[in-house]
Amino acid sequence: MGTATLDGRVALVTGASRGIGRGIAERLAADGARVVVNYRSDARAAAEVVSRVEESGGRAAAVRADLSRPAEVRHLFTAAEEAYGGVDILVGNAGLARFAPLAEVSDEDFELLFTVNARATFLLLREAARRLRDGGRFVLISTGATRTVRPASGVYAASKAAAEQLVATAAKELGPRGITVNSVLPGATRTEAMVAGADPDTLAAARRGTPLGRLGEPADIAAVVAFLASPDGGWITGQALGAGGGLF
């Protein structure tokens, strides 16, 4: 078990069935939070995350919701409230990356990236503004791609940059209730999907370009989220925090 800094708190992590979201869910549970593990399609993977948390002495529940559907975002909050009485910490981690030069981006991919990365963040923040408990936390998992400008990443970066802008606004609006709102920007982070999808040269270049000399791990990003969610993180709000080993 972790440091129990989140005892008595309820955390809702979107896209927590694998990758970075899974790492965040497991870490927040180890720190004492009861955790809602949101997933879209893989019920078995989400159930595995819940089992792992419970085997380590924590508490977690899996809730299916597709964040591209507004009604399902509302339902996700309701399910969390029914399971644990309310939400203190909301981590908007679910996201989608697609890379193509502007000349080759399809209308469908543009729609998809803005729906899952930007509009879903709006839907989560709107629900957070209405329902997150006072003293709560919102953390968006954005990307270092909003800081570096590279060919083929324009639409992905634009969709995440829109989400970061909403986060910055929410920090101003929710501060009076003691709620902090921040973005965390991972660099290249070693998840199964990312390693399977990226070409080896790109991965090697990311490793070479990272002053700390390796790719990030989900646990690296989870540690930053755990800090922001903890009482010690309470004076930081409205920030976009780079977590890429110095890559950007």
Residues at the contact surface with ligand NAP, assessed by CB under 6 A: 14-15, 17-21, 39-42, 66-68, 93-97, 116, 141, 143, 186, 188-189, 191, 193-194
3-class secondary-structure state, position 112: helix
Query: Which CB sits closer to ligand NAP, 94 or 166?
Result: 94
To ligand NAP, the closest distance from the beta carbon of 19 in angstroms equals 2
Q: Are 14 and 91 in contact (CB under 8 A)?
A: yes
**Residues 6+ positions from 108 with CB-CB distance below 8 Å:** none
Query: Which CB sits closer to ligand NAP, 30 or 65?
Result: 65
Question: Bridge-partner residues for 240, per DSSP?
Answer: 183
Dmax over Cα atoms in the chain, in whole Å?
51
Can you tell me the distance from the alpha carbon of 134 to that of 231, in angstroms, rounded to the nearest whole number? 13
To ligand NAP, the closest distance from the beta carbon of 178 in angstroms equals 26
**Residues 6+ positions from 52 with CB-CB distance below 8 Å:** 26
Per the annotation, the verdict on 39 as an active-site residue is no
To ligand NAP, the closest distance from the beta carbon of 34 in angstroms equals 19
Residue from 150, 187, 178, 172 nearest 239 by CA: 172
To ligand NAP, the closest distance from the beta carbon of 15 in angstroms equals 2
Query: Which CB sits closer to ligand NAP, 143 or 180?
Result: 143
Which of the residues 40, 116, 156, 224 is marked catalytic? 156
Beta-sheet strand order (sheet of 180-186)? 59-64, 34-39, 10-13, 89-92, 137-141, 180-186, 240-243
Query: Which CB sits closer to ligand NAP, 30 or 116?
Result: 116
Active site residues: 156
